[in-house]
Amino acid sequence: MIRVLLADDQPLVRTGFRMILDAEPDIAVAGEAGDGADAVRQCSSLRPDVAVLDIRMPVVDGIAATRQIAAGGLARVLVLTTFHLDEYVIAALRAGASGFLLKDVDAAKLAEAIRVIAAGNAIVDPAVTRRMLDHFTRQSAAAREGTEPDGACRERLGRLTERELDVLTLVARGLSNAEIAAELVVTETTVKTHVHHLLTKLGTRDRVQLVIFAYDAGLARSPS
Protein backbone atom coordinates (compact mmCIF):
# COMPACT_ATOMS: atom_id res chain seq x y z
CA MET A 1 0.00 0.00 0.00
CA ILE A 2 1.36 3.44 -0.99
CA ARG A 3 0.75 5.90 1.85
CA VAL A 4 0.16 9.50 0.79
CA LEU A 5 0.03 12.84 2.61
CA LEU A 6 -2.08 15.57 0.98
CA ALA A 7 -1.10 19.20 1.66
CA ASP A 8 -3.21 22.07 0.32
CA ASP A 9 -4.70 25.09 2.04
CA GLN A 10 -8.09 24.50 0.37
CA PRO A 11 -10.13 21.80 2.16
CA LEU A 12 -12.27 21.15 -0.91
CA VAL A 13 -9.18 20.42 -2.99
CA ARG A 14 -7.90 17.97 -0.38
CA THR A 15 -11.32 16.30 -0.24
CA GLY A 16 -11.38 15.92 -4.01
CA PHE A 17 -7.92 14.37 -4.12
CA ARG A 18 -8.74 12.09 -1.19
CA MET A 19 -11.82 10.79 -3.01
CA ILE A 20 -9.75 10.09 -6.10
CA LEU A 21 -6.96 8.31 -4.25
CA ASP A 22 -9.18 6.38 -1.85
CA ALA A 23 -10.75 4.74 -4.91
CA GLU A 24 -7.36 3.24 -5.83
CA PRO A 25 -6.74 -0.25 -4.41
CA ASP A 26 -3.02 0.32 -3.77
CA ILE A 27 -3.06 3.92 -2.44
CA ALA A 28 -4.13 5.15 0.99
CA VAL A 29 -4.30 8.75 2.23
CA ALA A 30 -2.40 8.70 5.52
CA GLY A 31 -3.08 12.33 6.43
CA GLU A 32 -3.90 15.87 5.33
CA ALA A 33 -2.25 19.23 6.01
CA GLY A 34 -3.45 22.77 5.40
CA ASP A 35 -0.05 24.46 5.32
CA GLY A 36 3.59 23.64 4.69
CA ALA A 37 4.65 23.58 8.33
CA ASP A 38 1.96 21.06 9.18
CA ALA A 39 2.96 19.01 6.12
CA VAL A 40 6.53 18.75 7.41
CA ARG A 41 5.33 17.79 10.90
CA GLN A 42 2.99 15.14 9.57
CA CYS A 43 5.62 13.71 7.23
CA SER A 44 7.94 13.43 10.22
CA SER A 45 5.37 11.54 12.29
CA LEU A 46 3.50 9.56 9.63
CA ARG A 47 6.40 8.85 7.24
CA PRO A 48 4.23 8.58 4.11
CA ASP A 49 5.74 7.26 0.89
CA VAL A 50 4.69 10.34 -1.10
CA ALA A 51 3.76 13.86 -0.03
CA VAL A 52 1.54 15.69 -2.53
CA LEU A 53 2.11 19.41 -1.96
CA ASP A 54 0.60 22.58 -3.35
CA ILE A 55 3.24 25.26 -3.95
CA ARG A 56 1.25 28.19 -2.60
CA MET A 57 0.45 27.49 1.05
CA PRO A 58 0.42 29.67 4.18
CA VAL A 59 2.85 29.58 7.14
CA VAL A 60 5.48 27.64 5.19
CA ASP A 61 5.13 27.50 1.41
CA GLY A 62 5.44 24.36 -0.68
CA ILE A 63 9.03 25.08 -1.70
CA ALA A 64 10.33 25.40 1.85
CA ALA A 65 8.28 22.39 2.91
CA THR A 66 9.65 20.35 0.00
CA ARG A 67 13.21 21.28 0.97
CA GLN A 68 12.69 20.16 4.58
CA ILE A 69 10.87 16.95 3.64
CA ALA A 70 13.43 15.98 1.00
CA ALA A 71 16.45 16.88 3.12
CA GLY A 72 15.12 14.82 6.01
CA GLY A 73 14.26 11.85 3.81
CA LEU A 74 10.73 12.03 5.22
CA ALA A 75 8.95 11.31 1.92
CA ARG A 76 9.25 11.77 -1.81
CA VAL A 77 7.44 14.88 -3.00
CA LEU A 78 5.01 15.48 -5.86
CA VAL A 79 4.29 19.17 -6.40
CA LEU A 80 0.95 20.31 -7.79
CA THR A 81 0.30 23.77 -9.15
CA THR A 82 -2.49 25.63 -10.93
CA PHE A 83 0.12 27.60 -12.90
CA HIS A 84 1.88 25.76 -15.71
CA LEU A 85 4.42 28.59 -15.93
CA ASP A 86 4.64 29.11 -12.19
CA GLU A 87 8.04 30.66 -11.43
CA TYR A 88 8.15 28.62 -8.24
CA VAL A 89 8.05 25.22 -9.95
CA ILE A 90 11.77 25.22 -10.81
CA ALA A 91 12.56 26.25 -7.23
CA ALA A 92 10.49 23.34 -5.90
CA LEU A 93 12.36 20.91 -8.15
CA ARG A 94 15.68 22.32 -6.98
CA ALA A 95 14.44 21.84 -3.43
CA GLY A 96 14.14 18.11 -4.04
CA ALA A 97 10.69 17.44 -5.49
CA SER A 98 10.50 14.28 -7.58
CA GLY A 99 8.05 15.78 -10.03
CA PHE A 100 5.22 18.15 -10.72
CA LEU A 101 1.79 18.12 -12.31
CA LEU A 102 -0.97 20.62 -12.91
CA LYS A 103 -3.89 20.46 -10.50
CA ASP A 104 -6.29 19.77 -13.34
CA VAL A 105 -4.58 16.45 -14.05
CA ASP A 106 -7.05 13.62 -14.49
CA ALA A 107 -7.52 11.01 -11.77
CA ALA A 108 -5.68 8.21 -13.58
CA LYS A 109 -2.59 10.36 -14.22
CA LEU A 110 -2.46 11.55 -10.61
CA ALA A 111 -2.60 7.99 -9.29
CA GLU A 112 0.01 6.83 -11.80
CA ALA A 113 2.32 9.74 -10.90
CA ILE A 114 2.13 8.75 -7.24
CA ARG A 115 2.99 5.15 -8.13
CA VAL A 116 5.95 6.26 -10.26
CA ILE A 117 7.34 8.49 -7.50
CA ALA A 118 6.77 5.90 -4.77
CA ALA A 119 8.80 3.45 -6.87
CA GLY A 120 11.77 5.83 -6.71
CA ASN A 121 11.39 7.43 -10.12
CA ALA A 122 10.48 10.94 -11.27
CA ILE A 123 7.46 12.27 -13.10
CA VAL A 124 7.79 15.24 -15.42
CA ASP A 125 4.90 16.02 -17.72
CA PRO A 126 6.67 16.60 -21.08
CA ALA A 127 4.22 19.25 -22.24
CA VAL A 128 4.50 21.17 -18.98
CA THR A 129 8.29 20.85 -19.07
CA ARG A 130 8.42 22.35 -22.55
CA ARG A 131 6.28 25.32 -21.53
CA MET A 132 8.27 25.82 -18.35
CA LEU A 133 11.61 25.76 -20.16
CA ASP A 134 10.30 28.10 -22.83
CA HIS A 135 9.25 30.53 -20.10
CA PHE A 136 12.53 30.42 -18.22
CA THR A 137 14.81 30.49 -21.25
CA ARG A 138 12.98 33.53 -22.62
CA GLN A 139 13.04 35.18 -19.21
CA SER A 140 16.78 34.77 -18.82
CA ALA A 141 17.91 34.93 -22.46
CA ALA A 142 19.48 38.36 -22.13
CA ALA A 143 21.28 37.45 -18.92
CA ARG A 144 22.63 34.20 -20.40
CA GLU A 145 23.62 35.64 -23.78
CA GLY A 146 27.31 34.93 -24.42
CA THR A 147 27.82 33.15 -21.12
CA GLU A 148 29.38 29.73 -20.63
CA PRO A 149 28.55 27.02 -18.08
CA ASP A 150 30.52 27.42 -14.85
CA GLY A 151 33.54 25.24 -14.09
CA ALA A 152 31.61 22.58 -12.21
CA CYS A 153 29.11 22.20 -15.06
CA ARG A 154 31.86 22.04 -17.68
CA GLU A 155 33.68 19.36 -15.72
CA ARG A 156 30.55 17.22 -15.44
CA LEU A 157 29.65 17.77 -19.09
CA GLY A 158 33.15 16.60 -20.01
CA ARG A 159 32.31 13.16 -18.65
CA LEU A 160 29.62 12.62 -21.27
CA THR A 161 29.87 11.02 -24.70
CA GLU A 162 28.48 12.88 -27.69
CA ARG A 163 25.41 10.64 -27.77
CA GLU A 164 24.81 11.08 -24.02
CA LEU A 165 24.95 14.85 -24.57
CA ASP A 166 22.35 14.48 -27.34
CA VAL A 167 20.07 12.51 -25.01
CA LEU A 168 20.54 15.03 -22.18
CA THR A 169 19.58 17.89 -24.48
CA LEU A 170 16.40 16.08 -25.54
CA VAL A 171 15.53 15.17 -21.94
CA ALA A 172 15.89 18.87 -21.15
CA ARG A 173 13.39 19.67 -23.90
CA GLY A 174 10.87 17.47 -22.13
CA LEU A 175 10.86 14.58 -24.59
CA SER A 176 9.88 11.12 -23.34
CA ASN A 177 12.14 8.10 -23.88
CA ALA A 178 9.98 7.01 -26.81
CA GLU A 179 10.20 10.47 -28.41
CA ILE A 180 13.98 10.58 -27.90
CA ALA A 181 14.30 7.14 -29.48
CA ALA A 182 12.37 8.33 -32.55
CA GLU A 183 14.44 11.53 -32.75
CA LEU A 184 17.78 9.69 -32.59
CA VAL A 185 16.60 6.61 -34.52
CA VAL A 186 17.54 4.18 -31.75
CA THR A 187 15.56 1.81 -29.55
CA GLU A 188 13.82 2.95 -26.39
CA THR A 189 15.98 0.47 -24.45
CA THR A 190 19.09 2.24 -25.74
CA VAL A 191 17.68 5.58 -24.57
CA LYS A 192 16.98 4.14 -21.12
CA THR A 193 20.59 2.97 -20.94
CA HIS A 194 21.87 6.43 -21.86
CA VAL A 195 19.62 8.04 -19.26
CA HIS A 196 20.96 5.64 -16.63
CA HIS A 197 24.53 6.58 -17.61
CA LEU A 198 23.62 10.28 -17.39
CA LEU A 199 22.24 9.87 -13.88
CA THR A 200 25.41 8.06 -12.79
CA LYS A 201 27.94 10.35 -14.47
CA LEU A 202 26.26 13.59 -13.43
CA GLY A 203 25.42 12.41 -9.91
CA THR A 204 21.76 13.31 -10.35
CA ARG A 205 18.94 11.62 -8.47
CA ASP A 206 16.35 11.37 -11.22
CA ARG A 207 15.10 12.75 -14.53
CA VAL A 208 13.88 15.97 -12.93
CA GLN A 209 17.38 16.74 -11.71
CA LEU A 210 18.73 16.04 -15.20
CA VAL A 211 16.44 18.77 -16.54
CA ILE A 212 17.66 21.21 -13.87
CA PHE A 213 21.31 20.40 -14.59
CA ALA A 214 20.78 20.89 -18.33
CA TYR A 215 19.10 24.22 -17.64
CA ASP A 216 21.99 25.36 -15.44
CA ALA A 217 24.49 24.20 -18.09
CA GLY A 218 22.71 26.19 -20.78
CA LEU A 219 21.54 23.11 -22.69
CA ALA A 220 17.84 23.51 -22.01
CA ARG A 221 16.33 25.19 -25.00
CA SER A 222 12.77 24.82 -26.17
CA PRO A 223 12.26 23.44 -29.69
CA SER A 224 11.90 26.11 -32.33
Confidence of residue 221 (pLDDT cuts 50, 70, 90): low
Homologous superfamily (CATH) of 2-124 is Response regulator (3.40.50.2300)
Over 60: is that where the pLDDT of 86 sits?
Answer: no
Whole-number pLDDT of residue 134:
60
- Least confident range from 14-23, 58-67, 107-116, 148-157: namely 148-157
Confidence of residue 24 (pLDDT cuts 50, 70, 90): very high
Over 90: is that where the pLDDT of 131 sits?
Answer: no
Whole-number pLDDT of residue 20:
94
**What value does the mean pLDDT of the chain take?**
84
Q: What is the DSSP string of the chain?
A: -EEEEEE-S-HHHHHHHHHHHHTSTTEEEEEEESSHHHHHHHHHHH--SEEEEESS-SSS-HHHHHHHHHHTTS-EEEEEES-TT-THHHHHHHTT-SEEEETT--HHHHHHHHHHHHTT--EE-HHHHHHHHHHHHHHTHHHHTT----HHHHHHHTTS-HHHHHHHHHHHTT--HHHHHHHHTS-HHHHHHHHHHHHHHHT-SSHHHHHHHHHHTT------
Over 60: is that where the pLDDT of 222 sits?
Answer: no
Rounded to an integer, the average pLDDT of 22-41 is: 96
Q: Which residue has the higher pLDDT, 102 or 26?
A: 26
Predicted TM-score (pTM) of the model is 0.72
- Least confident range from 24-33, 38-47, 195-204: namely 195-204
Q: Domain boundaries in the chain?
A: 2-124, 145-216
Rounded to an integer, the average pLDDT of 38-47 is: 97
Q: Which residue has the higher pLDDT, 156 or 162?
A: 162
Rounded to an integer, the average pLDDT of 92-108 is: 84
Q: How does pLDDT run across 201-211, given as a tens digit for each residue?
A: 998 877 878 87
Fold (topology level) of 145-216:
Arc Repressor Mutant, subunit A (1.10.10)
